Amino acid sequence: MIRSFLCKSLLNLIFPLRCIACEESLSTAMILCKECLSHLVLLQPSSHCPRCFGPKTFHECKRNGLTRQAFCFEYSPIIEKFKVLELSKILASYLLVQLQQLQSPIDFITTVPEHPLRRFTAPFLQDNFFADHLATELSLPRREFLRAVSDEEFTPRSSYEFTGEQLLIVGFRPKSNTRRAIQVLKNQGPCKVLGLYITN
Ligand SMILES: [Zn+2]
Ligand SMILES: [Zn+2]
Question: 164 C-alpha to center of ligand 1: Å?
Answer: 43
CATH architecture of 41-199: 3-Layer(aba) Sandwich (3.40)
Ligand nearest to the CA of 53: 2
H runs (alpha helix) in the chain: 2-14, 34-37, 77-80, 85-98, 116-121, 126-138, 178-186
Ligand nearest to the CA of 24: 1
Residue 12 is predicted with a pLDDT of: 54
Ligand nearest to the CA of 64: 2
Residue 200 is predicted with a pLDDT of: 94
CA distance 59 to 85: 34
Residue 91 is predicted with a pLDDT of: 96
Phi, psi of 196 (to 5 degrees): -135, 120
Ligand nearest to the CA of 50: 2
Residue 31 is predicted with a pLDDT of: 87
Q: Where in the chain is the domain with CATH 3.40.50?
A: 41-199
Question: 178 C-alpha to center of ligand 1: Å?
Answer: 30
- The pTM assigned to this predicted structure is 0.89
Instruction: Give yes or no for a contact between 105 and 170, defined as CB atoms under 8 angstroms apart.
Output: no
Question: 32 C-alpha to center of ligand 2: Å?
Answer: 32
**Mean pLDDT per 10-residue section of the chain, whose length is 200 residues:** 52 69 87 92 95 91 95 94 91 97 97 87 90 98 95 92 97 95 97 97
CA distance 46 to 180: 30
Residue 157 is predicted with a pLDDT of: 94
